[in-house]
Copies of this chain bind each other. A is one copy, B any other.
Amino acid sequence: MLRIDGRPVPRLFVEAGLEAGHAVPLADAQHHYLARVMRLKQGDAVALFNGRDGEWLAHLDGGGAVARRCLRDQGLEPDIWLVFAPMKKDRLRFLVEKATELGVSALVPAMTEHTSAPAPRIAKLRDWAIEAAEQCGRLSVPDCSAPQAMAAILETWDEARCLILCDETGGGKPAMAVFARGAQAPAALLVGPEGGFSGGERDLIGQVPVSVAVGLGPRILRAETAAVAALAYWQAAQGDARLNPAVARDIKDP
């Protein structure tokens, strides 16, 4: 949790550019949260990020805020997508929240032949991802794409991005052994539905030249657990889990 002069300070994602002295409009929901829930007043401090300009200290001013100074530069983040078959609401929300906390760069819902859950609303995925990004200190929000048919995603796959199949049939080598072999970035982790991929979908995956199958250990994981575990393994071997941990920050204002 970010603190300024010892007080916890809300972190908010905004669309507007962040530059010293510039006014930043806040959404009604954000304004209501700051005023009613957090009980902040005019001139109080908040932290803002937009996925482009880093993290900024800002002060509430009218219905918005004025950016004062940059607290953290944007920097690069791991380029790791999660292509997943949507599950029912609670588990889907969990997957979006946890994948965001674990640093996923894009959430790509894929409607497979064995997917029983309805196609998720992209706005809902994005709301959950923003909330998790604000809470975990990320400087970005993962891209959320509209649900597409699995076959369509595979048929147009960009071969510059390694496709890592989390193989629920046990066909793959242990994920850590594969990830340790060298860089699979940019990459995408592919997790199927509880019912598994169809034969046709498995054929299409096999036809992607940059696809590799990995296993996630000796137990059979639920789809959302597989997604979170695969992301943790990838971050551990290839991504930013090897970086020093987040440090609790207390910033002076001004």
Residues of A within 8 A of B (CB): 1, 90, 94, 97-98, 101-103, 135-138, 167-177, 215-222, 225, 228-229, 232-233, 235-237, 240-248
Contact = CB atoms under 8 A, between A and B. Distances in A.
Contacts of A103: 217-219
A245 B1 CA distance: 38
Contacts of A243: 174, 217-218
Nearest to A233: B236
Contact of A175 (B90, B98, B241): B241
Contact of A246 (B98, B175, B220): B220
A245 B170 contact: yes
17 contacts: A94-B94, A101-B222, A102-B229, A136-B222, A137-B219, A167-B245, A170-B246, A172-B245, A174-B243, A175-B241, A215-B245, A216-B241, A217-B240, A217-B245, A220-B246, A228-B228, A232-B236
A107 B228 CA distance: 20
A21 B246 CA distance: 57
A119 B26 CA distance: 39
Nearest to A136: B219
Contact of A174 (B98, B174, B241): B241
A220 B55 CA distance: 15
B218 A240 contact: yes
Contact of A219 (B102, B220, B233): B102
Contacts of A173: 244
A233 B225 contact: no
A237 B103 CA distance: 20
Nearest to A217: B241
Top 10 A-B residue pairs of the complex, sorted by shortest distance between their CB atoms: A215-B245, A170-B247, A232-B232, A136-B219, A217-B241, A170-B245, A137-B220, A176-B236, A101-B225, A220-B246
Contacts of A225: 97-98, 101-102
A100 to B, nearest CB: 9
A34 B173 CA distance: 35
A40 to B, nearest CB: 20
A218 B246 contact: yes
Nearest to A90: B90
Contacts of A240: 217-218
